[in-house]
Structure 1
Amino acid sequence: MVLFKKKVQITPELQPAQIKKITAESYTPVGEDLSYKEFKFANWVVSNRLLMKKIGIGIIIGWCVISLGYSGFRWAEYLIVGYWGDRDMTNQIASEIENYNAIQSLYSAQNLVLGRTQVFDAENNKYDFFTEVKNSNKNWLAVLEYKYSYGGGETEMREVTILPQTELPVVILGYENSSFPSSAKLVIENIRWHRIDPHMISDVPAFMAERIVFVIDDFNFVRGATSGLSTNRVAFDIINSSAYSYWQPEFSLVMLNGGSVVGVANITVDQFRTGDTHSVDLRLFDTSINVTDIMVIPMVNVFDESAFMSPGE
């Protein structure tokens, strides 16, 4: 008996298709669309909008409460304790500070002191105006713009510098007028004050004393009537005993008779070197005056470097 085997064809089992999952995280925005993260954040903001509003209001209220509470506490502390302490401190400061008017003189220039104005008959309808002006300030020099007025007219304007703690004749010499100028008065149009810098010159009097060292010697007054001259004669020597040489120093000569001023003149010395002696010989046309003594007052501004000659010149 023959048995036949039947061939059976086995078909492989079909596998399900591989399907690719698409998630929101893998979404790629197109154009100006929101990305997944931006969309997720926007969704969170919208969902928690009310909560965020409450948190913001709470923060503001908390800040206000803390600020107002702290401010109120500090104000209460000041009203209870601080106010009275401030009042006591203010009263103490006011009692320790000197009156401004009392100390103002330490920082500002004091007024010039004017002497009596005199007019001297020079010669041939020419007159000399004379007023002594004192600058009592230690650290201030004054530059005066001045003139003289008199009954019926006034002189031209002049300028003069008065050094600290110096008394200087302020003059106008040889003023021509047809008659004697009566009721003469010094008129100061302007004063320019210049403070000496204490950082540059700490001791002003010592600085001046070192540079203004002029000695008067061999003073002699001769009447014209006794010498056969038509004028009186005043002669003397000026010696520069300082260590400084001057280009063109000017001196004011005040002539005295028993302490009273009887005449005035100005003297200029060209290139007055240290150690030099300059002889002065003046003629006085007013033969009626008598001169017993003289004052020679330097008018050089020792605070102006251009007034000095350099060593070797």
Structure 2
Amino acid sequence: MDQVNNLNKRSDITISTFRTNMSNNIYNNLSEKELKYSYWYVTHRVFLRKLGILILAVAVGALLIYGVVLISGYYINDTGDTKALADRLSQDKFNLALLAESNKPKELVVGETQVLRGNKGNVDFVTKVLNPNVQWAVESIDYYYINGEEKTDIETSYVLPEQTKYLLHFNYPSISIGFSPRLVVEKVNWKKVVDFAAMQEKFVDFDVQNVTLTTLIKPTAIEPDSITNISFDVFNKSAYSFWEPRFIVLFERGGQLIAVAETQLSSLASNEKKTESLNLFQTLPAATTTTIIPDINILDPNVFKGFDVGSGELK
């Protein structure tokens, strides 16, 4: 009897424990829908893990590409900014140079004097002079040449801003071998000008055409002198007329200056075309190239030819 009672007690304890365990199971608190979601997650867990890794890799790649584009853009923009800064610094240096020049002009750059064959056995002296200043002109320059103990008469010229000027002395008697003429600048008068480049572009606009070099008389045993003619057309394309415009004629062979001449017209009106002819009493090689340079002092108001406004007064 006691054994039967003990068995009944054990059965009650087992059933009570089972009921307790069943009441503590978390799945008893889930709905059917939640159980379906849980089942789907468990069955797709590996796929979701791979998908997450893929999304992370794509995000990292996108950030990397964005970083490369950002850095490239920075360097491209930085290159432009650096160039702009260099340009500003160069401009500042140019402005500083102008500021320094505004108080005192730089000295003329004087080249070596060349001795060239001139007319009828004489020689010509030619010296190239450069004015490096932008806003200073040589209003007048007095110069002469010394050759041994002899010297030429004083001559006067001018040098415009940034102009390469040819100082000339023509028909000096043939010099002895061993003597080398030397240019002496006696006096230089400077004049400050403003915006000369625009002024020159406005006033000076010549078109030289149809340059012809012709040997008129060839040298012979009886008559060693020869005559060479140069002719050219000059067209004044500017709106300004000039009194006595001067032109320098350079003759070169193989890039070397072999002769020089100058000529002066009586006048040249706006939109006027004139033909100039000049004889040289010397022989020039057939391969001679010719350069014609206008030499007009546009800072001198007297070079401009006025026009009649009806009152007889020139304006």
TM-score range, shorter chain: 0.5 to 0.7
Match of 2:204 among 200, 204, 212: 212
Distance 1:270 1:180 in 2: 39
Q: CA deviation at 1:192?
A: 0.6
Alpha carbons of 1:141 and 1:125: their partners in 2 closer, same or farther (altered >3 Å)? same
Match of 1:243 among 236, 239, 257: 239
Kindly report which structure 2 residues correspond to 1:74-153, keeping only aligned pairs within 5 A, or say none.
Answer: 104-142=100-138, 143-153=140-150
Q: CA deviation at 1:118?
A: 0.9
Distance 1:248 1:138 in 2: 26
Instruction: Name the residue aligned to 1:23.
Output: none
Kindly report which structure 2 residues correspond to 1:30-45, keeping only aligned pairs within 5 A, or say none.
Answer: none
- Comparing 240-249 and 278-287, the one that deviates more: 278-287
What is the one-letter code of the residue matched to 2:132?
Answer: S
Instruction: Name the residue aligned to 2:213.
Output: 221
Instruction: Name the residue aligned to 1:155.
Output: 152
Distance 1:242 1:179 in 2: 46
Match of 1:169 among 166, 169, 182: 166
Q: CA deviation at 1:121?
A: 2.2
What is the one-letter code of the residue matched to 1:150?
Answer: N
Alpha carbons of 1:121 and 1:152: their partners in 2 closer, same or farther (altered >3 Å)? farther
What SS does the aligned partner of 1:207 have?
Answer: helix
Alpha carbons of 1:154 and 1:243: their partners in 2 closer, same or farther (altered >3 Å)? same
Which segments of 5 or more consecutive residues in structure 1 lack a partner in the other structure? Answer: 1-99
Distance 2:261 2:177 in 1: 18
Q: CA deviation at 1:288?
A: 4.9
Distance 2:198 2:165 in 1: 19
Instruction: Name the residue aligned to 2:49.
Output: none
Check if 1:254 corresponds to 2:250. Answer: yes
Quick one: percent identity of the two aligned structures?
Answer: 26
For the aligned residue pairs, the C-alpha RMSD in angstroms reads 2.8
Distance 1:144 1:227 in 2: 39
The question of whether the paired residues in 2 share the 8 Å contact of 1:130 and 1:171 is answered with yes
Alpha carbons of 1:181 and 1:128: their partners in 2 closer, same or farther (altered >3 Å)? farther
Alpha carbons of 1:284 and 1:296: their partners in 2 closer, same or farther (altered >3 Å)? same
Instruction: Name the residue aligned to 2:263.
Output: 267
Q: Aligned pairs, how many?
A: 209
Which segments of 5 or more consecutive residues in structure 2 lack a partner in the other structure? Answer: 1-95, 309-313
The question of whether the paired residues in 1 share the 8 Å contact of 2:143 and 2:155 is answered with yes
Structure 2-normalised TM-score?
0.60
The question of whether the paired residues in 2 share the 8 Å contact of 1:135 and 1:165 is answered with yes
Higher helix proportion, which one? 2
The question of whether the paired residues in 1 share the 8 Å contact of 2:218 and 2:226 is answered with no
Distance 2:126 2:231 in 1: 21
- Comparing 122-131 and 204-213, the one that deviates more: 122-131
The question of whether the paired residues in 2 share the 8 Å contact of 1:248 and 1:307 is answered with yes
Distance 2:269 2:178 in 1: 40
